[in-house]
Amino acid sequence: MKTIHIRTSKPYDVLIERGSIAKCGEYISSVTKSQKAAVITDDIVGGLYSEAVCASLRSCGFDVGVFTFPNGEASKNLDILSKIYNYLCEFGITRSDSLIALGGGVVGDITGLAAATFLRGIDFVQIPTTLLAQVDSSVGGKTAVDIPGGKNLVGAFKQPVLVICDSNTLSTLPEAELACGMAEAIKYGMIRDKELFKLIESYDISNVDEVIDDIVYASIDIKRDVVEHDEFDRGERFILNFGHTLGHAIEGWHNYTDYTHGMGVAAGMCMMTDRFCAPELAERLRRCVTAYKLPTGTEAPMEELLPYCSVDKKRELDSISFIVCEEVGKAEIRRVKLDEFYRLMGV
Ligand code: GLY
């Protein structure tokens, strides 16, 4: 087992171990004195893993309940959050009990927000079952739901008490979901770690499973470093948004339907690198992204994408920040006026 200790305002460990889901009760009982554990999951992940999680929790003495909601981003809303609160009342969860988020980013984000707010805050554990959730959303304490005004607009910072990453869960992931997580791993290599990037570019979507534990470990370790320096997203944490300014815009242009977050990030990273960096670097990134069956660009016209960037919650007054990596492993935050951004993007 590999452990990464995250030193945020409330420190916690991330455990990376194949088969750890079946031992989660043991690990969770070492970080909490809870009597009850409410497992929050979706109808796909729950079918695959909730039995193993519940059995392990029960064998360690927890009184276990399960709340399941429909899989997908459409469930990350205030209605499902309210149903989770009602379930926690029915199950009799108290301040000293815990929530267990079992699933991908949607489950982690909404369970984290429930944990941040129910009874003014209770402990929660993340058991991320997608690559994207393991390398990004389960670590760092961002929790949220979507509202009609936009994605992730209602949320809170709430660190989990433990994160359990079982790489065996990644072998049941559809290829497109694995690729989605790989886009974030490529991002970590680009912004901070040329060795990670070299490792990723020497594999492809068909064989990356052989080194996935190393990729998960290196990616989370970079996120640890960034989050420890800027837990509440006031500066340096913004470098995690490489590829995201255009990526979110592309996702929005596609109405968040046929375009995954990873596809948006991959295309966004390539488009920014094409525009601001040496052609050799742009070509190297494109080759890597293509090896993971991710897009290097978009059919969406730039003039239609930019209005989505202007409403992004990262925008401040009349300026916009974005990330440029002029060499692998080095990221720079650039901040320009909105009209200058349009000019730089050729509009
Ligand atoms: N996913 C970006 C962050 O955690 O800040």
Cα–Cα dist 263/144, whole Å: 21
10-residue mean pLDDT series, the chain (347 residues): 97 97 98 96 97 98 98 96 98 98 98 98 98 97 93 95 97 94 98 98 97 98 98 95 94 85 97 97 98 96 88 71 96 93 91
Closest-CA residue to 97 (of 136, 123, 72): 123
Q: What pLDDT score does 312 carry? A: 59
Cα 85 to ligand 1 centroid, rounded to whole Å: 25
Confirm or reject: Cβ of 182 under 6 Å from ligand 1: no
Q: What pLDDT score does 178 carry? A: 97
Q: Would you say 53 and 24 are in contact if contact means Cβ atoms under 8 Å apart?
A: yes
Pocket test for ligand 1, best of 131, 132, 135, 137 (most atoms within 8 A of CB): 137
Domain that holds residue 146: 2-172
241 CA closest ligand 1 atom index: 2
Does residue 263 sit in the same domain as residue 285? yes
Does residue 210 sit in the same domain as residue 145? no
- What CATH number is associated with residue 69? 3.40.50.1970
Cα 134 to ligand 1 centroid, rounded to whole Å: 12
Q: What pLDDT score does 317 carry? A: 72
Confirm or reject: Cβ of 291 under 6 Å from ligand 1: no
CA distances 180 to 105, 156, 244, 247, 322, Å, are 12, 24, 13, 12, 21
240 CA closest ligand 1 atom index: 2
By DSSP bridging, strand 123-128 and strand 162-165 are parallel
Confirm or reject: Cβ of 237 under 6 Å from ligand 1: yes
Q: Would you say 185 and 130 are in contact if contact means Cβ atoms under 8 Å apart?
A: no
Pocket test for ligand 1, best of 139, 240, 312, 321 (most atoms within 8 A of CB): 240
Does residue 153 sit in the same domain as residue 245? no
Cα 92 to ligand 1 centroid, rounded to whole Å: 32
Tokens of 91: 């199950």
Q: What pLDDT score does 196 carry? A: 98
Does residue 156 sit in the same domain as residue 12? yes
Report which protein residue has its CA nearest ligand 1's atom 2. Answer: 240
Does residue 189 sit in the same domain as residue 97? no
Domain final residue, candidates 143, 172, 201: 172
Query: Residue 157's beta-bridge partner residues?
Result: 142
Domain final residue, candidates 116, 145, 172: 172
Does residue 104 sit in the same domain as residue 238? no
Does residue 18 sit in the same domain as residue 159? yes
- Map the chain to HEC letters: CEEEEECCCCCEEEEECCCHHHHHHHHHHCCCCCCEEEEEEECCHHHHHHHHHHHHHHHCCCEEEEEEECCCHHHCCHHHHHHHHHHHHHHCCCCCCEEEEEECHHHHHHHHHHHHHHHHCCEEEEEECCHHHHHHHCCCCEEEEEECCEEEEEEEECCCCEEEECHHHHHHCCHHHHHHHHHHHHHHHHHHCHHHHHHHHCCCCCCHHHHHHHHHHHHHHHHHHHHHHCCCCCCHHHHHHCCHHHHHHHHHHCCCCCCCHHHHHHHHHHHHHHHHCCHHHHHHHHHHHHHCCCCCCCCCCHHHHHHHHHCCCCCECCEEEEEEEEECCEEEEEEEEHHHHHHHCCC
Cα 272 to ligand 1 centroid, rounded to whole Å: 19
Does residue 141 sit in the same domain as residue 189? no
238 CA closest ligand 1 atom index: 5
Confirm or reject: Cβ of 136 under 6 Å from ligand 1: yes
Confirm or reject: Cβ of 240 under 6 Å from ligand 1: yes
142 CA closest ligand 1 atom index: 4
Cα 109 to ligand 1 centroid, rounded to whole Å: 12
| Tally of domains within the chain | 2
